[in-house]
Chain A
């Protein structure tokens, strides 16, 4: 699992590469837990190369969800593979989080 951060003016894009399981969840959690992440208006998660997400991986997003909402930071997922999207959907997270098909829609969101 590799997490690459690409900050721009008011947007932070995180590229996830690989499988997000219990061990790699820690890497992502450190990234999302950084205090200055709340200075961005939007945090975009590029899931194009995310091949698998475990419940621990979902837990990382869930645990930061409230914090992002409170700070008025939008969390947007895009380029999600169908298999990964299914996991979000089954848990009901699609109703709670913004999941869009592509980068253009993510930037517009």
Chain B
């Protein structure tokens, strides 16, 4: 900037010296004027070139306004100075004072250069708006070429007209080509376009004023002015004016279609809003609300309503109907009239509603109706109705735009639904995990140990929780109660009853202080079953039942007593007879008969065991396990064979042997019932360890 200022002052002095107005300056050589002028132009242009882009974001109108109020005002200043000059002409004092004229002329030249520089670089911002690499390179070439024209005059090369004119014309054409880049116009709203047209017209006027001034002063014989840098200034002035003109034309001719462009842009914005709601996870009521609002605005409907299918996702949380410019009674009336018409299920447009029978005498005279279903994957979420007062206003295109909206809305709704279900699922999973932990704590972890027997156990639930259970209880007098059971059904319900049964076992197996003799202090198995049956009467649903076996092993006497309440038969290896067999005893499951008569259906069975005997207790999940061809069951026979092959091993080994065979049998099939397996091996009587 100081460089420009200095060169301008020198230019002024040089011009003055030529005009001969101030003899004390002497006569400067011709080239000094050219040099200072060139330096000034170069300085100003470079200054504006490296200033930050005048365009901020998409504030095109602000840029134009800035141009008009800033450099545009320079044109006014120019006019003002010119008028002053005209006035001064009539004054005798100034009549021959070429000093004054030269000053004004040089001042105006400076203003013009500033004006051109500002305008050119504002246009650069607009030309390069959203442009590619190529256009940027083309612009730079344009600048360099213009720079050369400046240089030509500076070094004094004055090409003959037949070379100079084509060069200038070619550069002018280049400028015209660059003026074709008016992308920014598309980003203006209708109001902004009007403003842009006016501002550009104002700028054009500014250029014209300057050009006119210079044309007039050139002709003025009074002025011995330095020759301005013709080619450069001409070209930049031409470019500034032409770009403004071109922009004006483009903007002006864009005006009639700008509302369509704006409509498209607002449709995109609305669609974006709908999409954003998906991500924010708002409620379905909001989605429906925005759909109705967007649809109404897009087709500028006079009234509308949205019927939501009851029972479907979100319909209960949203209002069943959403209205726009209509009241419920009005919609009800329209609905009954439409129902009488038997309209098609899907999209439907009618543009002559008033001509149809049954629609006379409507309070509002709607002439056009558009009906559009909200189609989901499985079902329709509802129906959108849009109404207009004018006839023949809806067309296929409206329908396709609205369809984008409805499908986007349906997508949002289904997405919300999905999120909700997955949250529900997650919660259920959490609860199941807790149930599993609770149930796991009900299964005895520490098996009773004694030197009279060995126990090994295995349990596996078909789901997270199951209905199988087993438990042990040491009774006084070297006795052990063992219970196994299976609640009908699977999953959480079965698990509840399993917990209940465990409670019943522990409460019934309490010592009765009123008992007359030792044997009656604890209920015998059949009595236990009868009491358990009574206890379950009121808490087991009608179609549920429990099978169970209770064993009370007395290893002082070397025998046991058991009762089987509908549970699987006990598998037994008799060591002395070297024989494997199933105990065959009758007994009814618990919860099948819910009165006193149950006791008739349950029996005790006594048995004396000998060391080496093996007892295998299990639930039906073992013998009914599916494998082989898929419908084959593991079966009692196969279980019996496995014990015949493994009775001599210890309890843990026998259990593992059986399970290995079971797993081999069922491999590839899902486990469909809970499995429990207990192996008890009696050992030869040994005296209790003395402490």
Chain A residues at the B interface, C-beta cutoff of 8 Å:
22, 29, 51-52, 55-56, 58-60, 62-63, 65-66, 83, 90-93, 95-96
| Cα distance, A69 to B591, chains bound together (Å) | 16
Closest to A51 in B: B631
B interface SS class: loop
Residues on B with C-beta less than 8 A from A22 are: 489-490
| Cα distance, A51 to B545, chains bound together (Å) | 22
Contact A62/B543 with A55-B488, A91-B589, A95-B588 known, Cβ cut-off 8 Å: yes
Contact A62/B545 with A96-B592, A96-B593 known, Cβ cut-off 8 Å: yes
Q: Determine if B566 and A91 form an interchain contact, defined as CB atoms under 8 angstroms apart.
A: yes
Q: What distance in Å separates the Cβ of A43 from its nearest Cβ neighbour in chain B?
A: 17
A-B contact pairs, 26 of them (CB 8 A): A55-B620, A58-B545, A59-B488, A59-B489, A62-B543, A63-B543, A66-B594, A90-B547, A90-B568, A90-B569, A90-B620, A91-B545, A91-B547, A91-B566, A91-B588, A92-B565, A92-B587, A92-B588, A92-B589, A92-B592, A93-B588, A93-B592, A95-B586, A95-B601, A96-B592, A96-B601
Q: Give 1 or 0 for each of B567-596: 1 = CB within 8 Å of chain A CB.
A: 111000000000000000011110111100
Q: Determine if A92 and B489 form an interchain contact, defined as CB atoms under 8 angstroms apart.
A: no
Q: Determine if A56 and B586 form an interchain contact, defined as CB atoms under 8 angstroms apart.
A: no
Indicate which residue in A52, A55, A66, A92 contacts B586 across the interface (CB closer than 8 Å).
A92
The yes or no answer to B544 lying at the interface (CB within 8 A) is yes
Q: What distance in Å separates the Cβ of B600 from its nearest Cβ neighbour in chain A?
A: 9
| Cα distance, A60 to B594, chains bound together (Å) | 15
Residues on B with C-beta less than 8 A from A51 are: 631
Residues on B with C-beta less than 8 A from A93 are: 566, 588-589, 592
The yes or no answer to B396 lying at the interface (CB within 8 A) is no
Which residues of B (522-573) have their CB < 8 Å from a CB of A?
542-545, 547, 565-569
Contact A56/B488 with A62-B545, A91-B566, A92-B601 known, Cβ cut-off 8 Å: yes
| Cα distance, A70 to B416, chains bound together (Å) | 52
Q: Determine if B545 and A59 form an interchain contact, defined as CB atoms under 8 angstroms apart.
A: yes
Closest to B585 in A: A92
| Cα distance, A58 to B488, chains bound together (Å) | 9
Residues on B with C-beta less than 8 A from A59 are: 488-489, 543-545
| Cα distance, A64 to B322, chains bound together (Å) | 50
Q: Nearest 10 pairs between A and B by C-beta?
A: A92-B588, A59-B543, A55-B488, A63-B543, A91-B566, A63-B542, A91-B589, A92-B566, A62-B592, A92-B587
Closest to B588 in A: A92
Q: What distance in Å separates the Cβ of A32 from its nearest Cβ neighbour in chain B?
A: 11
Q: What distance in Å separates the Cβ of B272 from its nearest Cβ neighbour in chain A?
A: 47
Residues on A with C-beta less than 8 A from B568 are: 90
Residues on A with C-beta less than 8 A from B565 are: 92
Q: Determine if A55 and B545 form an interchain contact, defined as CB atoms under 8 angstroms apart.
A: yes
| Cα distance, A62 to B592, chains bound together (Å) | 6
Q: What distance in Å separates the Cβ of B624 from its nearest Cβ neighbour in chain A?
A: 9
Q: What distance in Å separates the Cβ of B471 from its nearest Cβ neighbour in chain A?
A: 21
Contact A55/B592 with A62-B543, A92-B566, A92-B587 known, Cβ cut-off 8 Å: no
Residues on B with C-beta less than 8 A from A65 are: 592
A interface SS class: helix
Residues on A with C-beta less than 8 A from B490 are: 22
Q: What distance in Å separates the Cβ of A21 from its nearest Cβ neighbour in chain B?
A: 9
Residues on B with C-beta less than 8 A from A52 are: 631
| Cα distance, A54 to B440, chains bound together (Å) | 25
Residues on A with C-beta less than 8 A from B486 are: 55
Given pairs A90-B547, A96-B588, 17 additional interface contacts (CB within 8 A): A29-B543, A55-B489, A55-B620, A56-B489, A58-B488, A59-B488, A60-B543, A63-B543, A83-B633, A91-B589, A91-B592, A92-B586, A92-B587, A92-B589, A93-B588, A95-B588, A96-B592
Q: What distance in Å separates the Cβ of A80 from its nearest Cβ neighbour in chain B?
A: 16
- Chain B CB within 10 A, most for which of A58, A62, A90: A90
Q: What distance in Å separates the Cβ of A20 from its nearest Cβ neighbour in chain B?
A: 13
| Cα distance, A27 to B593, chains bound together (Å) | 24
Q: What distance in Å separates the Cβ of B455 from its nearest Cβ neighbour in chain A?
A: 24
| Cα distance, A52 to B566, chains bound together (Å) | 18
Closest to B565 in A: A92
| Cα distance, A65 to B593, chains bound together (Å) | 9
Q: What distance in Å separates the Cβ of A63 from its nearest Cβ neighbour in chain B?
A: 4
Closest to B568 in A: A90
Residues on B with C-beta less than 8 A from A95 are: 586, 588, 601
Residues on A with C-beta less than 8 A from B586 are: 92, 95
Q: What distance in Å separates the Cβ of B562 from its nearest Cβ neighbour in chain A?
A: 15
Q: What distance in Å separates the Cβ of B589 from its nearest Cβ neighbour in chain A?
A: 5
Q: What distance in Å separates the Cβ of A67 from its nearest Cβ neighbour in chain B?
A: 9
Residues on B with C-beta less than 8 A from A66 are: 594
Residues on A with C-beta less than 8 A from B542 are: 62-63
| Cα distance, A41 to B587, chains bound together (Å) | 29
| Cα distance, A56 to B629, chains bound together (Å) | 24
Closest to A67 in B: B542
| Cα distance, A92 to B584, chains bound together (Å) | 12
Residues on B with C-beta less than 8 A from A92 are: 565-566, 586-589, 592, 601
Closest to B490 in A: A22
Residues on A with C-beta less than 8 A from B591 are: 62
| Cα distance, A51 to B587, chains bound together (Å) | 24
Closest to A97 in B: B592
Q: What distance in Å separates the Cβ of B648 from its nearest Cβ neighbour in chain A?
A: 29
| Cα distance, A91 to B588, chains bound together (Å) | 6
Q: What distance in Å separates the Cβ of B489 from its nearest Cβ neighbour in chain A?
A: 6
| Cα distance, A55 to B544, chains bound together (Å) | 8
Closest to B544 in A: A59
Q: What distance in Å separates the Cβ of A53 from its nearest Cβ neighbour in chain B?
A: 11
- Chain B CB within 10 A, most for which of A60, A62, A66: A62
- Chain B CB within 10 A, most for which of A22, A52, A59: A59
Indicate which residue in B489, B566, B631, B633 contacts A90 across the interface (CB closer than 8 Å).
B566
